Amino acid sequence: MTLFDTSASRRTLLKASLGVAATGVLTAPRIARAAGPDKINIAYFVGTSPTMIAKGDGWIEELTKAKVNWIEVGSGAEINTAVAAGSVDVGIGIGSAPTAAGLSQGIGYEVVSILDNIGPAEELTVRTSANIKTVADLKGKKVGTPFGSTSHFRLLGLLKTNGLTQKDVTVLDLRPDALVAAWQRGDIDGAYVWAPAKSKILAAGGEVFRTYDKLEAAGYVIADLIVARTAFTQAYPDAVVAILKAGNKALDVWTKTPDKAAELIGKQAGVTAAVAKEDLLQYDFVSPERQLQPDWLGAPGKGGKFAEVLQGTAKFLVEQKSIRSVPELAVFQKGINTAPLVKSLA
Amino acid sequence: MALRIPLRAWTVVSALVLAAAWLTLTWGGFVRDLFLPPPDQLWDAFNDLATDGYKNRTLWEHLQISLWRIFAGFVTGALAGTFLGLAMGYWRGVAALASPFVEFLRPLPQLAYLMLLIIWFGIGETSKIILLFLAALPVSAVAARDGVRNVPAQRIHAARTLGATEWQVFRHVVLPSALPEIFTGARIGVGVVYGTLIAAEIIAGSSGIGWMILDAGRFLRSDYVFVGIILIGLMGVALNGALVALETRLVHWAGR
């Protein structure tokens, strides 16, 4: 059904997949009509992230002069599916694990920016009364995490780097809200998840079991990203630049006036300013300038380390049988497009 | 009899057209495998799942777990529902007591109360089976109630006139007359339980064919999703066939 839709953007996708030049005749009138899109479909997560200020204050609508259709999602997988179907143009906050899966499977999108380096913001929490002091103590315990997420990736990495398998530790697939419920009933002794579920679990007899630093050193870096449908970026490069500009401006509010930002973000995410600030402090929001360094996304055409992180994540997903095969590094390098980010700084 | 051959031919034709479209679209390179995997990929995926399993469990374990959940939820739900329905049909008082709840529960989407079941019954098998139980119960109850209500009054009167006790009337007149409808209810119930399986396996999954489809879908593994759908579909056809066979054995008088 989606394959035969006539909208300009989907047509471009179809053209790409068919490799038929003749369809260009059909697309020409729509693309030539306007410089900017009439409507942008943006998928986002409700959470404590500076981009929420840009959403709340309508900066993207203002800068792109387009109608924005905000689509709330609960997982990166939903963004992947929606982009594949052509229903989402830009995905804000998609995790590196689903992005690695998406790029490996040839979903037509590119990473255009890093929102944050997740670091300690997603972490293992264990029940204090279960007396879990070492990773080996997890044996025979039940640990929940949302499957397919960056947290899931980290948890499995934790087991793997410590020589444990899922025969030793029962890993259960639970959405964040269900995790909190299962935790409160005492059904699980561990959870690998992000805020606000993490904060609720910590408040209900949990404690942080620090894993992130060792896992990062072992290559299990996780990040939240902004992805844009390749056909959309090609058709409307300025719109993508404008969206990134709005994001930069929002990040500025957080770095310069954290208390004001926390209040605005808290209002959007439905938490108090204090909770929002506490959550925000856990993330490392990578500035656009840092993103363009070789350590992260790298300058346009130069490439950065992050392509390797994505490939490493994809390799792991293949071991998990989540995706079929890992493409070569060039695919991930091509899947990162920092040209709009450079323009957003101008 | 004369119509039988052309009708079968139509079935064959529709299957062939579908297969031809599938082959042309996939092998002809018109559709990416992400959207529709070609037959060879499906076969590979099936072999892969059959030999290596899916995420720490073999394919047969996933199927077994799902079948067990369906069985447990359906049998308990259908039995409880049938008893309740018989009582509702036989005694107006019971009907008055139970009807509002049965009628309320019947159209309720299971996902609506999924969260509550997790909070009340945990993330183990109990909440999954209760979910399926709750799906089967109202369907069976309504079928059994209507079955009893539709028993022709003359039959009951005739039995009473011949001196049958209340129990004898129920056992030898009401129950056999209602049985065909009870079986129809059971078959609809299996369908409902089957449809609820994926919802049940959302609860703290990592096992079951429904969960496998969900999890593979998350990573856009269309090949596994298709294999899962084909398996779950065939399983449904087999279950329905088993019930029909049981029905023809037990209520061979139906429709006569």
- The mean pLDDT value for A47-52 works out to 88
- Claim to verify: residue A102 and residue A242 sit in the same structural domain: yes
Whether A293 has a pLDDT exceeding 70, the answer reads yes
- Claim to verify: residue A109 and residue A66 sit in the same structural domain: yes
Whether A272 has a pLDDT exceeding 50, the answer reads yes
Q: Among A159, A191, A217, which residue terminates a domain?
A: A217
Could you tell me which residues of chain A have a Cβ less than 8 Å from any Cβ in chain B? Answer: 2-3, 17-19, 75, 77, 80-81, 84, 98, 101-102, 105-107, 144, 147-148, 166-167, 170-174, 177-178, 181-182, 184-185, 187-188, 317, 320-324
- Contacts of residue A178 in chain B, CB cutoff 8 Å? 115, 118, 123, 203-204
Residue A275 lies in a domain: yes
- Claim to verify: residue A302 and residue A172 sit in the same structural domain: no
Give me the pLDDT at residue B202, please: 80
- Helical spans, DSSP H, in chain B: 4-27, 39-52, 59-90, 92-105, 114-121, 125-149, 153-161, 166-169, 175-202, 209-218, 222-250
> What's A196's domain CATH number?
3.40.190.10
Residue A268 lies in a domain: yes
Give me the pLDDT at residue A62, please: 94
Quote the minimal CA–CA distance from B202 to chain A in Å. Answer: 8
How many folded domains does chain A comprise?
Answer: 2
- Claim to verify: residue A240 and residue A137 sit in the same structural domain: no
pLDDT category, B119, cuts 50, 70, 90? confident
- Claim to verify: residue A112 and residue A124 sit in the same structural domain: no
Could A320 and B55 be called an inter-chain contact, meaning their C-beta atoms sit closer than 8 Å?
Answer: yes
Could A148 and B124 be called an inter-chain contact, meaning their C-beta atoms sit closer than 8 Å?
Answer: no
Q: Among A176, A201, A217, which residue terminates a domain?
A: A217
Whether A86 has a pLDDT exceeding 80, the answer reads yes
Residue A296 lies in a domain: yes
Residue A211 to residues A161, A305, B151: CA-CA distances in angstroms?
11, 22, 68
- Claim to verify: residue A267 and residue A203 sit in the same structural domain: no
- Claim to verify: residue A300 and residue A196 sit in the same structural domain: no
- Claim to verify: residue A236 and residue A89 sit in the same structural domain: yes
Lowest mean pLDDT across A45-59, A215-229, B15-29, B106-120? B106-120
Could B29 and A317 be called an inter-chain contact, meaning their C-beta atoms sit closer than 8 Å?
Answer: no
Residue A10 lies in a domain: no
Could A101 and B215 be called an inter-chain contact, meaning their C-beta atoms sit closer than 8 Å?
Answer: no
Give me the pLDDT at residue B2, please: 52
Quote the minimal CA–CA distance from A133 to chain B in Å. Answer: 25
The most confident of the ranges A166-175, A244-253, B22-31 is A244-253
Whether A35 has a pLDDT exceeding 60, the answer reads yes
Task: Using CB atoms, pick whichever of B34, B118, B119 lies closest to residue A106.
Answer: B34
To the nearest whole percent, how much of chain B has pLDDT over 70? 96
Give me the pLDDT at residue B32, please: 83
Give me the pLDDT at residue A148, please: 86
Give me the pLDDT at residue A33, please: 44
Give me the pLDDT at residue B254, please: 62
Range of the domain at A83: 37-118+222-344
Could A147 and B35 be called an inter-chain contact, meaning their C-beta atoms sit closer than 8 Å?
Answer: no
Q: How far is CA B1 from the centre of its chain?
A: 32
Could A84 and B35 be called an inter-chain contact, meaning their C-beta atoms sit closer than 8 Å?
Answer: yes
- Claim to verify: residue A244 and residue A146 sit in the same structural domain: no
- The mean pLDDT value for A56-64 works out to 93
- Claim to verify: residue A48 and residue A191 sit in the same structural domain: no
- The mean pLDDT value for B223-228 works out to 93
- Contacts of residue A177 in chain B, CB cutoff 8 Å? 115
CB atoms < 10 A from the CB of A129, how many?
A: 11
Whether A222 has a pLDDT exceeding 50, the answer reads yes
- Contacts of residue A171 in chain B, CB cutoff 8 Å? 206
Token pair belonging to B40: 């060879």
All domains of chain B in start order, with CATH: 53-250 (1.10.3720.10)
- Claim to verify: residue A269 and residue A239 sit in the same structural domain: yes
Closest-approach residue (CA) in chain A for B49: A321
- Contacts of residue A322 in chain B, CB cutoff 8 Å? 215, 218-219, 221
Quote the minimal CA–CA distance from B217 to chain A in Å. Answer: 8
Residue A17 lies in a domain: no
Closest-approach residue (CA) in chain B for A79: B218
Could A148 and B211 be called an inter-chain contact, meaning their C-beta atoms sit closer than 8 Å?
Answer: no
Whether A239 has a pLDDT exceeding 70, the answer reads yes
Could A105 and B211 be called an inter-chain contact, meaning their C-beta atoms sit closer than 8 Å?
Answer: no
pLDDT category, A322, cuts 50, 70, 90? confident
pLDDT category, B29, cuts 50, 70, 90? confident
Could A174 and B123 be called an inter-chain contact, meaning their C-beta atoms sit closer than 8 Å?
Answer: yes
Whether A37 has a pLDDT exceeding 80, the answer reads yes
Give me the pLDDT at residue A74, please: 83
Whether A34 has a pLDDT exceeding 90, the answer reads no
Q: Among A172, A197, A217, which residue terminates a domain?
A: A217
- Claim to verify: residue A236 and residue A340 sit in the same structural domain: yes
Whether B205 has a pLDDT exceeding 90, the answer reads no
Residue A265 lies in a domain: yes
Quote the minimal CA–CA distance from B101 to chain A in Å. Answer: 26
* DSSP secondary structure of B196-254: HHHHHHHTTBSSSHHHHHHHHHHTT-HHHHHHHHHHHHHHHHHHHHHHHHHHHHHTTTT
Task: Using CB atoms, pick whichever of B30, B118, B122 lies closest to residue A18.
Answer: B30
Residue A25 lies in a domain: no
Mean pLDDT, all residues of chain A: 88
Residue A152 lies in a domain: yes
- Contacts of residue A181 in chain B, CB cutoff 8 Å? 115, 118-119
Closest-approach residue (CA) in chain A for B120: A185
